[in-house]
Amino acid sequence: MQYAEPVFRPPSESESLILQVTLGCSHNACTFCAMYRTKRFAVRALSEVCGEIREAGRRWPGVKRVFLGDGDALAAPAGFLADVLRALGEAFPGLRRVTAYASPQNLLEKTPEELTALREGGLSMFYLGFESGDDEVLKAVNKGVTAEETVAAVLKGHAAGMRSSLMVLLGLGGRDRSEAHARRSAEALNRIQPHHLSCLTWYPVPEAPLYRQIERGAFTLPDDEGILTELGWLLSDLKLTDTVFRANHASNPLPLAGRMNRDRDALLSAVEAARSGHLPLVPAFLRGT
Ligand code: SF4
């Protein structure tokens, strides 16, 4: 495979074949994100992608999982993605699942019929940067959508039969909007009922515009105590019937995992124990993006 670096994938796709069908991110404007700043968004040529698929099929016919890159592969036209899914099915007879990053905009732009056809073609789950359910935070970080639009987008994906894995970014409201960020995120997530939910903590990277806001004193990231408090507000307000919950990303001060709402009390107890110093935090030098 010929990869255009940098390449990112969700941690749970470590066993998957990564296939770049798009390059970069079609939005590429969130102030907290530096992932694709060095790339110009493009949909790759179908002939090139299908050539790579055929070659990968010859070399690794046993592939069972494929992750479509880059930052929002669902930005590609539905017909193009349908052709890619068909080629994947032909190259890998044992293929069990295909997943991709998607933005709310991608899902809103596609018709219900297009999403259903992609689901039937094998695209079974999307990963989506939910970030926050607070419109002030979403506007401040230039996410390009409101919370209402994000809810509608994910529900549209669910209606097509796709599963969702959403990411919330702790700390994104700064100290000032920490509580609103947590509580409004819970409200929106309760309406969505995602299948998977991950909490990451925003980690300042110099290439992200938000980093420069910190340097200017225009944004203050909550400290560990503040992040734990925010996580506690979020967990307390979440009412999820059956969601796999993870907060064990390398960026988090306290690794947590469970199933919501079944494990909510245990998760909240762990947060409280950490806040009172009875549970150790991951040392700052071991954390990262
Ligand atoms: S957070 Fe997602 S949508 Fe925003 S710029 Fe980064 S990759 Fe693109």
Query: What's the whole-model pTM score?
Result: 0.95
Residue type, 170: L
Q: What integer pLDDT is reported at residue 289 of this predicted model?
A: 61
Ligand 1 within 6 A of 246 CB? no
Q: Whose CA is nearest to atom 3 of ligand 1?
A: 27
Give the pLDDT confidence of 25-67 residue by residue, as tens digits.
999 999 999 999 999 999 999 999 999 999 999 999 999 999 9
- 142 CA to middle of ligand 1, Å? 10
Residue type, 160: A
Q: Whose CA is nearest to atom 5 of ligand 1?
A: 28
Q: What integer pLDDT is reported at residue 228 of this predicted model?
A: 95
Give the pLDDT confidence of 179-192 residue by residue, as tens digits.
999 999 999 999 99
Instruction: Give the number of residues written for the chain.
Output: 289
Q: Whose CA is nearest to atom 6 of ligand 1?
A: 33
- 71 CA to middle of ligand 1, Å? 7
Give the pLDDT confidence of 70-126 residue by residue, as tens digits.
999 999 999 999 999 999 999 999 999 999 999 999 999 999 999 999 999 999 999
Task: Report CA torsion sign: 199, 127, 147, 210.
Answer: positive
Q: Which atom of ligand 1 is nearest to the CA of 35?
A: 6
Q: Is a pLDDT exceeding 80 seen at residue 267?
A: yes
Upstream peptide bond of 248 is cis (omega within 30 degrees of 0): no
User: Residue 139 CB: number of other CB atoms within 10 A?
Assistant: 13
Ligand 1 within 6 A of 69 CB? no
Ligand 1 within 6 A of 110 CB? no
97, 138 in Cβ contact below 8 A? no
Give the pLDDT confidence of 272-284 residue by residue, as tens digits.
999 998 888 888 8
- 33 CA to middle of ligand 1, Å? 6
- 107 CA to middle of ligand 1, Å? 14
Q: What integer pLDDT is reported at residue 255 of this predicted model?
A: 87
Average confidence score pLDDT of the chain = 95
Ligand 1 within 6 A of 24 CB? no
Q: Which atom of ligand 1 is nearest to the CA of 33?
A: 6
Q: Whose CA is nearest to atom 7 of ligand 1?
A: 71
Q: Which atom of ligand 1 is nearest to the CA of 32?
A: 1
Ligand 1 within 6 A of 25 CB? yes
Ligand 1 within 6 A of 160 CB? no
Mean pLDDT of 200-210: 93
Nearest to 19 by CA among 31, 7, 37: 7
Q: How far apart are CA 105 and CA 142, in angstroms?
A: 13
Q: Which atom of ligand 1 is nearest to the CA of 26?
A: 8
Give the pLDDT confidence of 225-262 residue by residue, as tens digits.
999 999 999 999 999 999 999 988 777 888 899 999 99
Q: Residue 174 carries which DSSP code?
A: T
Q: How far apart are CA 82 and CA 117, in angstroms?
A: 8
Q: How far apart are CA 119 and CA 101, in angstroms?
A: 14
Give the pLDDT confidence of 5-29 residue by residue, as tens digits.
999 999 999 999 999 999 999 999 9
Nearest to 200 by CA among 32, 38, 67, 65: 32
